[in-house]
Amino acid sequence: MVCLKISMVAGNIRLSHGKMAAVDSEVPMEPETHIMIEEEIEREAEGFKEQGNAFYIKKDYSEAFNYYTKAIDACPKNASYYGNRAATLMMLSRYREALEDSQQAVRLDDCFMKGHLREGKCHLSLGNAVAARRCFQKVLELEPDNRQAQQEHKNANTVLEYEKMAECDFEKRDFRKVVYCMDRALEFASACQRFKIMKAECLALLGRYPEAQSVASDILRIDSTNGDALYVRGLCLYYEDCIDKAVQFFMQALRMAPDHLKARLACRNAKALKAKKEEGNTAFKDGNYEAAYDLYSEALMIDPNNIKTNAKLYCNRATVGSKLKKIEQAMEDCTRAIKLDETYIKAYLRRAQCYMDTEMYEEAVRDYEKVYQTEKTKEHKQLLKNAQLELKKSKRKDYYKVLGVGKNATEDEIKKAYRKRALMHHPDRHSAATPEVQKEEEKKFKEVGEAFTVLSDPKKKSRYDSGHDLEDDGINMGDFDANNIFKAFFGGPGGFSFESNSSSGPGNFFFQFG
């Protein structure tokens, strides 16, 4: 086999590797000379191969690659040289180049089992399990008991199974399962960009944006024009509510791959979502709350997968709902926002205020505690303190409710309320009632007197309003006599009496003042 072209230059024979052999330019080359030159070239190529092997053993794959390349340049029809260089390229994770060398090796020698094995490994690493399986099947035809081929054939089938499962799970929107399948497949197909993209897209759909960004960035470092990776980068930004930047990546992906349907749809959704949200914000600022409510509702219909933007939209709608006195709906919207984004402080604050407005103080305290644990600011501390105070106050008797007046009632309003309630619940008025009714009315009569005692005294009222426990101030509310308060209010003994009017029937009374 002649492994090198020989040309006559200025009376010398030039060999492809640069050595010169002196002969007369007019003298034709003898067959023996051809054989000698061929043997010399083969020896030198073998030398390059041995040096390559030595570097390969030392794991200096770059130098090994250089020497295997020299061996191929010297003797380009030797299958084993291509096979060795393919092995080196595989160690350098340059699988596409390794695949080309492996394919060249088996073209030169169809019975070269290592060549077929390496071609199959390259196909598998790149995610083409069908082609990989064909290569391993070829080895098994040549050597049915080849254990490596048997194992690699199983690996290829495993990858195909995981790929099939991932496609079904993606259709079912079971993105966690897809990530699992892709991780398992990538254990065998470590250089498959298609699997990496599918994993990255599902990570983005699961809200695991840093992981998705990392996978996409790794691909773009190798191939900056990869439309799928650009789409995933845009998707992460879109789901993190960085819509303007997301649109830029979607547009770039479409420039690289004009038929990229997912990038086109995401770009359209991003633009529509931004526009609708801005319309709602404008309506809110203009005081047009009904329109703002409707616009935020329409925006929420655009893309259910955009968790962060939708959380903000729910919170915005809750703010509008509060303005429209739709407090229960506002609380529900805040809860939806928190369910989408558990770190969304604004939603906790909005819901806590709704709880305060509806006197659900325990719930308000819980939300304010969550906020303060997350962001320990003076403002959040004060909000928590206020809610705790209102909760404490709510657990005491509400003297305002007992008298049936508002918390801003005047002194005259408090007196009028006491007069009405005291007369309503006085035991003498219910002397003909059942023992159970008498007991209940007596209890209410005492509560009315207790409420009046506190709210009619400016000092006690101030302490009560500020949340202080009056018993901590040495005031025992169990010591007072409701009848004495009643008598003092109505002018002392003999100043007032209940008398039964028998003609009016049982339980009817008229009031007589002295």
Picking from 79, 134, 136, the residue whose alpha carbon sits closest to that of residue 106 is 79
CA-nearest of 334, 397, 398, 340 to 366 is 334
Which residues contact residue 483 at a Cβ distance below 8 angstroms, ignoring those fewer than 6 apart? none
CA distance 51 to 268: 58
pLDDT score, position 427: 87
Indicate if 385 and 424 belong to the same structural domain: no
* Confidence band for 102, pLDDT divided at 50, 70 and 90: very high
Domain end (from 208, 242, 269): 269
pLDDT tier at 123, thresholds 50, 70, 90: very high
Q: Which domain covers residue 323, as residue numbers? A: 286-395
Same domain for 254 and 290? no
How is residue 344 written in tokens? 């969304």
State the pLDDT confidence band at 98, using cuts at 50, 70 and 90: very high
pTM of the model: 0.66
Q: How far apart are CA 78 and CA 87, in angstroms?
A: 15
Do 47 and 91 reside in the same domain of the chain? yes
At 477, the pLDDT band (50, 70, 90 cuts) reads low
Q: How many domains does the chain have?
A: 4
Q: Is residue 260 part of a domain?
A: yes
Q: How far apart are CA 450 and CA 460, in angstroms?
A: 11
- The CATH number covering residue 337 comes to 1.25.40.10
Cα 508 to its chain centre, rounded Å, is 69
Is 506 within the bounds of a domain?
A: no
**203 lies in some domain:** yes
pLDDT at 285: 96
Residues 55 and 120 in one domain: yes
Mean pLDDT of 442-447: 88
- Where are the alpha helices (H) located in 27-128, listed in sequence order? 31-57, 61-74, 79-91, 95-108, 113-125
Answer with the residue of higher pLDDT: 140 or 502.
140
Question: Does the structure show a pLDDT above 60 at 164?
Answer: yes
Residue 418 inside a domain? The answer is: yes
Nearest to 290 by CA among 255, 321, 248: 321
CA 192/CA 211 separation, integer angstroms: 17
Can you tell me whether residue 343 is helix, strand or coil?
coil
What separation in angstroms does the CA of 400 have from each of 144, 413, 448?
94, 11, 10
pLDDT band at 378 (very low <50, low <70, confident <90, very high): very high
> Do 173 and 141 reside in the same domain of the chain?
no
In a domain, 488, yes or no: no
Is residue 354 domain-shared with residue 423, that is, in the same domain? no
Mean pLDDT of the 196-202 span: 97
Whether 409 and 341 share a structural domain: no
Q: What angle do CA 347, 351, 357 make, to 5 degrees?
A: 150
Query: Per the domain annotation, does 31 fall within a domain?
Result: no
**Which one of 269, 296, 317 terminates a domain?**
269
In a domain, 507, yes or no: no
Claim to verify: residue 154 and residue 114 sit in the same structural domain: yes
Distance (Å, whole) CA 468 – CA 218: 62
Specify whether 254 is located in the same domain as 291: no
132 and 174 in a single domain? The answer is no
pLDDT for res 162:
97
CATH number assigned to the domain comprising residue 403: 1.10.287.110
Question: Model confidence over 29-65: pLDDT tens digits?
Answer: 566 666 677 888 889 999 999 999 999 999 999 999 9
- The whole-number pLDDT of residue 487 equals 73
Among 337, 371, 395, identify where a domain stops: 395
DSSP line for 433-480: S-HHHHHHHHHHHHHHHHHHHHHTSHHHHHHHHTT--GGGGT--TTS-
Nearest to 106 by CA among 117, 94, 96, 95: 117
Q: Is residue 385 located within the same domain as residue 403? A: no
- Residue 312 falls inside a structural domain: yes
- The band of 259, judged by pLDDT with boundaries at 50, 70 and 90, is very high
CA distance 279 to 261: 27
Mean pLDDT is lowest, of 68-77, 107-116, 417-426, for 417-426
At residue 472 the predicted structure's pLDDT band, cuts being 50, 70 and 90, is: low
- Classified as helix, coil or strand, 9 is strand
DSSP state at residue 12: E
- H/E stretch holding 499 reads strand 496-500
Cβ 270 vs Cβ 249: under 8 Å: no
- Residues 6+ away with beta carbon under 8 Å from 512: 496, 497, 499
> Nearest CA to 83 among 47, 60, 54, 110?
110
Let me know: does 115 contact 102? Beta carbons within 8 Å: yes
| pLDDT value, residue 471 | 59
Q: Residues 210, 295: one domain?
A: no
